[in-house]
A and B are shown apart, each in its own frame.
Chain A
Amino acid sequence: MARARGKAGQGSVWAAVPGLVYLVALVLVPLIIIVIFSFLSRAKLGVGVKWEFSTQAYADLLFSESLAGGRSFDPTYLQIILNSFVFALVTAGVTLALSIPIALWIATRPAERRTALIFLVTIPFWTSLLIRTYAFVIILNDNGPINGTLGWLGLIGEPIPMLYTPFATVTGLVYTFLPFMILPIYASAERFDFRLAEAAYDLGAGKWTVLRRIVLPSIRPGVIAGMLLVFVPALGSFLAPELLGGGKTSMIANVIAAQFGASRNWPLGAALSVLLLIITMLVLVGFAVTAKRVSRTGGSNTWEAML
């Protein structure tokens, strides 16, 4: 009786069933279909697949076939995967460098101002990714504000070409994912007990030593969570390379999109998606192992902080 009363009003497990079934149907099933599609043949007209088992899509990732029928090693896709890794890594590195000062600065403000400042950091995240990316089409343009200002100051004669370069892609990615780095680092920094820093000062340590030896090691869990939250979505980015890279610097997502669009090779697009998923999972597991060693905070705090 007492037990039954303890559960009163807390509803039943069954309430979760519709939502879980829906997610299975629209998240899990599509993933399974992609895996299946990657082992099928290309459809004649290119839309959809032909239900005939084939490992051609995976072979296409590494080899290209000449018209004569010969097979030769083709590093095109490997190169794109490598590019994506480099872009995601540089993005994570730059966001980290930008985030540490601001995260620590916010964490050391009075409590009531902290909430407002963190809200200010999150606002851009809630605006359309397309518009945020488009903003850099304008800014990095040949006659955009940066080139305009530099020209007006007489520093440059010709505009510096910035749009449609790898630099533009990375800038767009950094802008997109910056809040994902600031928030977890802030969450770690907020919990840091600044009396430790005070003790270090009393013992004669300078600002730089305190920062390097005391503060940075304590915010490591936040840094690891931030790296994960930036690296993983950056790796699968579509819009920044599409609009800012100008086709010269494709990432995996652009190639996948092309296979389901103009190139009309769904099995190949599916195989690339499977590859991207596997890479994502491996990175997640890698980070989980690292995070466990460093322990304490994780990525979930970021979502709690944002919502």
Chain B
Amino acid sequence: MIRRARGSGEALKDFPLFGVMSAAVFGFLYLPLLFVVGYSFNENRVVTVWKGFTFDWYVDVLQNDDIQRALMNSLRVATVATALSVLFALGLAIGMLRLARAGSTLAWGLIGAPLIIPEIVFAIGTLSLFVQVRFSLGVDAITLAHTAFCIPFALLPIRARLRSVDLSVYEAAADLGANEWRIFRRITLPLLVPGIVAGALLAFIISLDDFIVSYFLAGPGGTTLPVYIFGMIRNAITPGVNALSTLLLLVSVLIVSISYVISRRKR
């Protein structure tokens, strides 16, 4: 009885030290990223030996021609891969609602495959495919491969949204004489917009951040930003790597936050 009175409410659910341990895990999740950001302002060429505060590395990095080219490649790949994967995902989300159970298991296996297959195997597999059909490596090859593994990321928010739609709105539209295409364009699509936007944002960062597949498919002219950063890490680590990484981190965090806000709204 005494324990009950003292521990009434939330405290009963608490276990000793779990709060402290959780704080430690959150620290473990965020400190490494904060170190990357912090050292990007280091005046010293030796990343981890602090000398003084400067923005010079950002200026340095943003004025570098190779980095600008890599950035343009990354943006081009991510934009096209996002657009393509969202279109495929939209079709899949709608088509899968009606697929028979047996077919649906197979289809889900195929859609989930890019998430399960080790990324290195997917990378050398697409490399082998492109070499075999003599498709030249570079930005286009990367785009085609990225589209494949962006599909599951684009699909899940769209599917979640589609399943939450009340089917009676379709019936109402059909009763009022709308045909299939009109129903899709005027009802389904507008209802799906939050899912489509959330899916597109996720596909975009997954493509933008990808390293392994891009690395194998880059060829001579297809260097993307992560591939360039990998080269920097391999050759000479300066706070410039941190500055570039910080910018990429910012974009990722910003985009995933927007996606989060959108998919939480009106659920």
Contacts and interface: CB of A to CB of B under 8 A. Distances in A.
Contacts, number: 295
Contacts of B116: 232, 280, 284
Interface in A111-136: 115, 119-124, 126-132, 134-136
B253 A127 contact: yes
Contacts of B248: 127-128, 131
A45 interface: no
Given A108-B13, A123-B253, A137 B233 contact: yes
Interface stretch (B51-59, B61-69, B179-187): B179-187
Interface string B82-108: 000001111110111111000000010
A104 B147 contact: no
Contacts of A155: none
B230 A130 contact: yes
B153 A307 contact: yes
A205 to B, nearest CB: 11
A9 interface: yes
Nearest to B115: A303
Contact of A26 (B126, B169, B202): B126
A24 B183 CA distance: 30
Interface of chain B, main secondary structure: helix
A48 B80 CA distance: 28
B252 A128 contact: yes
A22 B211 contact: no
B212 interface: yes
Contact of A11 (B95, B132, B173): B95
Given A15-B91, A20-B92, A128-B211, A138 B47 contact: yes
B4 A126 contact: no
Contacts of B193: none
Interface of A: 5-20, 22-24, 26-31, 33-34, 37, 47-48, 98-99, 101-102, 104-106, 108, 110, 115, 119-124, 126-132, 134-139, 141, 143-145, 148, 175, 178-179, 182, 194, 197-198, 201-202, 207, 211, 232-233, 235-236, 238-239, 243, 253, 256-257, 260, 266, 269-270, 273, 276-277, 280, 284, 303-304, 307
Contacts of B263: 307
A101 B264 CA distance: 26
Nearest to B239: A138
Contact of B16 (A108, A207, A253): A207
Contacts of B128: 30, 33-34, 37, 266, 270
Contact of B18 (A33, A105, A139): A105
B14 A108 contact: yes
A202 B26 CA distance: 33
Contact of A130 (B7, B48, B229): B229
Contacts of B233: 130, 134, 137, 243
Nearest to B188: A9
21 contacts: A7-B98, A9-B187, A11-B188, A15-B90, A23-B110, A34-B121, A34-B128, A102-B22, A119-B260, A124-B33, A127-B33, A127-B252, A131-B33, A138-B36, A138-B48, A175-B29, A201-B12, A232-B116, A256-B120, A270-B128, A307-B157
A175 B32 contact: yes
A273 B252 contact: no
B196 interface: no
B29 A280 contact: no
Nearest to A98: B25
B126 A30 contact: yes
A127 B205 CA distance: 8
Contacts of B252: 126-128
A304 B174 CA distance: 31
Contacts of A120: 26, 29
B110 A15 contact: no
B104 to A, nearest CB: 9
A23 B125 CA distance: 13
A170 to B, nearest CB: 14
A304 B160 contact: yes
B60 interface: no
Contacts of B28: 98, 175, 178
B156 A303 contact: yes
Contacts of A270: 124, 128
B35 A29 contact: no
Contacts of B175: 5
B144 interface: yes
Contacts of A26: 126, 129, 144-145, 147-148
Contact of B170 (A9, A123, A129, A303): A9
B110 A16 contact: no
A233 B114 CA distance: 12
A221 to B, nearest CB: 19
B119 A5 contact: no
B29 A121 contact: yes
Contacts of B114: 23, 27
Nearest to B95: A16
